[in-house]
């Protein structure tokens, strides 16, 4: 497995220098392209392998969504993702990772770190699948021709209105993000997948943590053949279908995160002999380096 770090426009140099990692994922905001030029120059100069995590706002501040065909949302989402694949190819990135969308329509305000549920009436799941299947096939094949992996990330069931505020998780937005079951269908159709462990853990709202663990492990097992990237995150209570970007430090496990330490090791063993799978933690930036080192230690145990 290829362990790396997550970096963005702030503090990236310190993280790369502290870890000396040869792999990283860049939180890539499409409308901030110029802000990332120093990062890409550094990565090239130091021969650091990287992928892009796609972020964008569509006109009208809509969140990209490959499942929502009304209002041209899916078409525009596909177009911007294709452009990002072009960018990735020019930069020499390994992959472009995307969130596939939801059964509902959302607005996204990246500067304010919040989102808004615009249309609570969900699109029919069959229609969502038809759009997802068709568009991800186009994106997958286009990326393949550009020698880029196009990765589809697992998502939590719900979102939060203000993700920078921990208390925001107490009031989930019922956004009905694309389920692991639909992503499994895409994987079985040949698409590549990112298993975000925290997102996958938040894809079901179940009071029984043993049952939740069974769900997470089984779907991870099923997705494993098509999985190219692991976002190694955990979820802090409450387990209400929202993500918290928890880490794998002793204080995280002491706080009762899910999956627990033993379960994280079990999940990592699914990829033990895979040299084509990246691992990227996504904790709060101040503890990125500590989490990177903690994962190094975990990998020694499997």
Cα first-last separation, the chain: 12
For position 31, what pLDDT does the model report? 96
Q: How confident is the prediction for the chain on average, in pLDDT?
A: 97
- The structure tokens 């860049």 sit at 26
Helices 180-188/209-223 angle, 10° precision: 20
pTM over 0.85: yes
pLDDT at 252 over 90: yes
Dihedral sign from CA coordinates of 290, 296, 297, 301: positive
For the chain, what is the domain count?
Answer: 1
Contact 252, 246 (CB under 8 A): yes
For position 165, what pLDDT does the model report? 81
pLDDT tens across 202-249, in order?
A: 999 998 999 999 999 999 999 999 999 999 999 999 999 999 999 999
For position 119, what pLDDT does the model report? 76
For position 164, what pLDDT does the model report? 79
For position 120, what pLDDT does the model report? 75
Q: Check which CATH number belongs to the domain holding 77 and give it.
A: 3.20.20.150
pLDDT tens across 116-161, in order?
A: 999 778 999 999 999 999 999 999 999 999 999 999 999 999 999 9
pLDDT tens across 21-75, in order?
A: 999 999 999 999 999 999 999 999 999 999 999 999 999 999 999 999 999 999 9
What confidence category does residue 166 fall into, taking pLDDT thresholds of 50, 70 and 90? confident
230 Ramachandran zone, left/alpha/beta (phi>0; psi -120 to 50): beta
Distance CA 84, CA 55 (A): 10
Q: Are strands 149-153 and 23-29 parallel, antiparallel or unpaired?
A: unpaired
Query: Domain range holding 31?
Result: 2-301
Contact 271, 195 (CB under 8 A): no
pLDDT tens across 170-191, in order?
A: 999 999 999 999 999 999 999 9
């Amino acid at each position: 497995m290829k362990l790396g770090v997550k970096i963005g426009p702030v503090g990236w140099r310190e993280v790369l220098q502290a870890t000396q990692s040869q792999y990283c994922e860049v939180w890539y905001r499409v409308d901030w392209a110029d802000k990332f030029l120093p990062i890409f120059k550094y990565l090239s100069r130091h021969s650091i392998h990287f992928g892009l995590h796609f972020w964008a706002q569509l006109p009208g501040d809509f969140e990209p969504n490959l499942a929502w065909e009304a209002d041209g949302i899916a078409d525009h989402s596909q177009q911007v993702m294709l452009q990002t694949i072009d960018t990735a190819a020019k930069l020499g990135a390994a992959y472009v990772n995307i969130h596939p969308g939801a059964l509902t329509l959302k607005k996204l305000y990246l500067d304010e770190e919040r989102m808004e549920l615009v249309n609570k009436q969900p699109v029919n799941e069959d229609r969502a699948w038809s759009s997802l299947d068709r568009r991800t096939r186009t994106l997958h094949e286009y990326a393949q021709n550009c020698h880029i992996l196009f990765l589809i990330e697992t998502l939590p069931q719900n979102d939060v209105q203000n993700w920078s505020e921990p208390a925001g998780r107490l009031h989930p937005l019922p956004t009905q993000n694309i389920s692991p079951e639909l992503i499994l269908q895409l994987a079985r159709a040949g698409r590549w997948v990112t298993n975000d462990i925290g997102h996958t853990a938040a894809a079901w709202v179940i009071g029984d943590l043993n049952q939740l663990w069974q769900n997470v492990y089984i779907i991870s097992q099923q997705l494993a053949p098509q999985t190219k990237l692991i976002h190694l995150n955990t979820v802090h209570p409450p387990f209400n279908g929202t993500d918290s970007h928890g880490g794998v430090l002793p204080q995280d496990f002491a706080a009762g995160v899910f999956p627990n330490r033993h379960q994280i090791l079990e999940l990592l063993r699914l990829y033990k002999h895979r040299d084509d799978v990246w691992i990227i933690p996504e904790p709060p930036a101040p503890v990125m380096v500590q989490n990177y080192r903690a994962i190094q230690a975990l990998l020694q145990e499997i």
